[in-house]
Amino acid sequence: MAETAAKTDEPGETRRDFLYLATTAVGVAGAVAALWPFIDSMNPAADIRALSSTEVDLSPVAVGQRITAKWRGKPVFIDHRTPEEIKRAEQDDNADLRDPEKDQARVKKPEWLVVIGICTHLGCVPLGQKPTDPRGEWAGWFCPCHGSAYDTSGRIRKGPAPRNLAVPLYEFTADNMITIG
Amino acid sequence: MATPASTPAPAPENAVVKWIDQRLPIFEFVRHHLKDYPTPRNLNYLWNFGSIAGVMLVVMIVTGVMLAMQYTAHVDLAFDSVERIMREVNYGWLLRYLHMNGGSFFFLAIYIHLFRGMYYGSYKAPREILWWLGLIILVLMMMTAFTGYVLPWGQMSYWAATVITNLFSAIPWVGDSVVTWLWGGFSVDNPTLNRFYALHYLLPFMIFAVVFVHLWALHTVKSNNPLGVEPKTRQDTIPFHPYYTAKDFFGFGMFFLVYLAIVFFAPNLFSEPDNYIPANSLVTPPHIVPEWYFLPYYAILRSIPDKLLGVIAMFGSILILFFLPWLDRSKIKSGKFRPIFKQLFWLLVADSIVLGWVGGNRPDELFYSVSFLTIGRVATAYYFGHFLVLLPAIASIEKPKPVPESISAAVGAKSKD
């Protein structure tokens, strides 16, 4: 641009310089805008977004039992907690937590804990759904990949994971029925 | 391109060749770059690995195209289509084992090629861009290897895809959106498999293009050599053909002897048995490890307790190599004449192997009462220390040995002994 200006007869910026700049700017903006459909086509498609809620019937789940539901391709841990487990989780509300959260804020009904069963470190599925699985020092879940341990509220207590197991959006549609998503 | 070799090219005798060359000088190009190309007369066998890597790229593309004709990129069909290749397709087992182990041997050739370049200072002026192009090829190879590993849709495929894509969730603010975008969904699923297949087919051709530019740069600055002394006279070089074509073909033979021994007698040596279990998004295998050629980076990732910093360190371990031409301030190219550098070089090789060994073990496991996490941390610190502290520091304290005046002088002195 500067060279073009220097070669013209008029000193300083010319009308032509302005036209060059404006044309280039519009061209670049247009090219960037045209990129968006290509990038966005790789985001979740409408049919995938439509499959975003799952209904789970909780009536067959006994006290102390944990089941795994599938929501958006991810495992969701549903824990029918025992009174001891609830007590333990509430007692630890004021413990030294990496990602401080009250147990109350993580449940809709204290006996039902619903969390996404994906370790917040690098996405492995923690162990603890079966009674025979290792559940870690805090009797919640234990991730075998890099050793993160979660408590009975799904809160991170030890290991490399930065955050608590996420609580998905869900609501009780009946006494023993939840809709996740 | 480069100026013609010192010997003027004789005019082509064949009338057809002449007619074509006047319109598109393709015969002249081949003669100039594959026959007359003046090559230092003192190259050792370590200089074979560039062309070996080139041959491996061709093997991978040819076997890959044949496999693509039989493979189905769908979560319900991918695993079975690979088993069908193994059991039903004529020689399918051979194509798959050549391709699967070919990846390992491609990386082996590239790593030897890379360390050879480090020892003989092949990254120093005027070869910086040549070095960068090589590193770009390495990064493209890593992307290709990773996307390819996901295609059989076994347990290791699925969880490798999950863990590696989750690395991007460490990016502040936009991390989770980036991961969703990479997946094309809310977990690794069919859209992910499809796009990885598309990329796995695309990337090798990008590698092919960068290899071409790598060779263009090579033929502009010419090959380095074990002495690190640039050729000065015609006595210092010999034509590429027949001298180095013969030597390269001998190298191919030796390399293929080892490669094919693995393909035929231990085809699953480098792979994890868990990848013969179909992918299951609800169960993570107890021990996830990447392929051997990614183990050192995996060890670096795990040795840093912070998620974001771990990811940065892992990518940094490759990125730092781009700055090598300026981190090494010594004017002497070849490690042969650098007594301290030579020892540090072998320590770096040892450190890389230690990192690989750590990457293959669980961090909480013990080796003689020292956890692998601790060993990994020391080895990671040494890796970065080598490039950021030791290498810049030794340039001023090291007393190099006398460097010969020319290649022919050194070779002549050697033959008189």
pLDDT at A10 over 80: no
Q: Is the complex ipTM higher than 0.95?
A: no
Shortest alpha-carbon distance between residue A70 and chain B (Å): 8
Q: Within chain A, what is the greatest distance between any pair of CA atoms?
A: 89
Nearest 5°: the CA angle B292, A161, A90 is: 150
- Higher-scoring residue by pLDDT: A92, B8: A92
- Higher-scoring residue by pLDDT: A146, B186: B186
pLDDT at A11 over 80: no
Residue A115: band (very low, low, confident or very high) from pLDDT cuts 50, 70, 90: very high
Across the interface, do B281 and A122 touch by the CB < 8 Å criterion? no
Report, as residue numbers or ranges, the catalytic residues of A. 146
CA distance linking residue B41 with residue B61, whole number of Å: 32
Chain A residues inside the 8 Å CB shell of B288:
124, 145
Binding-site residues on chain A for chain B (CB distance < 8 A): 39, 42-45, 48, 52, 68, 70, 72-75, 117, 121-125, 143-147, 160, 162
Give the residue ranges of chain B where pLDDT is below 70: 1-12, 415-417
User: What is the reported pLDDT for A145?
Assistant: 81
Q: What secondary structure does DSSP assign to A28-58, as a single string? A: HHHHHHHHHHHHHTTSPPHHHHHT--EEEE-
B398: exposed, middle or buried (Cβ count in 10 Å: 0-12, 13-18, 19+): middle
The tokens describing B27, both together, are: 């015969």
User: What is the reported pLDDT for B11?
Assistant: 63
The tokens describing B83, both together, are: 């088993």
Instruction: Report whether A157 contacts A98 (CB < 8 A).
Output: yes
User: To which H or E segment does residue A174 belong?
Assistant: strand A170-174
Instruction: Report whether B131 contacts B122 (CB < 8 A).
Output: yes
CA distance linking residue A165 with residue A141, whole number of Å: 10
Instruction: Report whether B239 contacts B5 (CB < 8 A).
Output: yes
Nearest to B282 among A42, A75, A145 (CB): A75
CA distance linking residue B320 with residue B387, whole number of Å: 8
Across the interface, do A48 and B181 touch by the CB < 8 Å criterion? no
CA distance linking residue A139 with residue A121, whole number of Å: 19
Q: Which residue of A has its CA nearest to B159?
A: A124
The answer to whether residue B220 neighbours chain A at the CB level (below 8 Å) is no
The answer to whether residue B195 neighbours chain A at the CB level (below 8 Å) is yes
Task: Choose from A118, A124, A143, A156 for mutation: most chain B CBs within 10 A.
Answer: A124
Give chain A's radius of gyration (CA, Å): 27
User: What is the reported pLDDT for B12?
Assistant: 64
Chain B residues inside the 8 Å CB shell of A162:
307
Residue A149 three-state SS = strand
Task: Choose from A145, A158, A163, A180 for mutation: most chain B CBs within 10 A.
Answer: A145
Across the interface, do B189 and A73 touch by the CB < 8 Å criterion? yes
Task: Choose from B284, B358, B364, B372 for mutation: most chain A CBs within 10 A.
Answer: B284
User: What is the reported pLDDT for B10?
Assistant: 63
pLDDT at A8 over 60: no
The pLDDT tens digits for A26-57 are: 999 999 999 999 999 999 998 888 877 889 99
Chain B residues inside the 8 Å CB shell of A43:
180-181, 184
Nearest 5°: the CA angle B171, B175, B177 is: 160
pLDDT at A4 over 60: no
The pLDDT tens digits for A64-79 are: 999 999 988 889 999 9
pLDDT at A7 over 60: no
Q: Provide the edge-to-edge strand list for the sheet that holds A74-80.
A: A66-71, A74-80, A112-116
How much of chain A, in percent, has pLDDT values that exceed 90? 65
CA distance linking residue B77 with residue B357, whole number of Å: 35
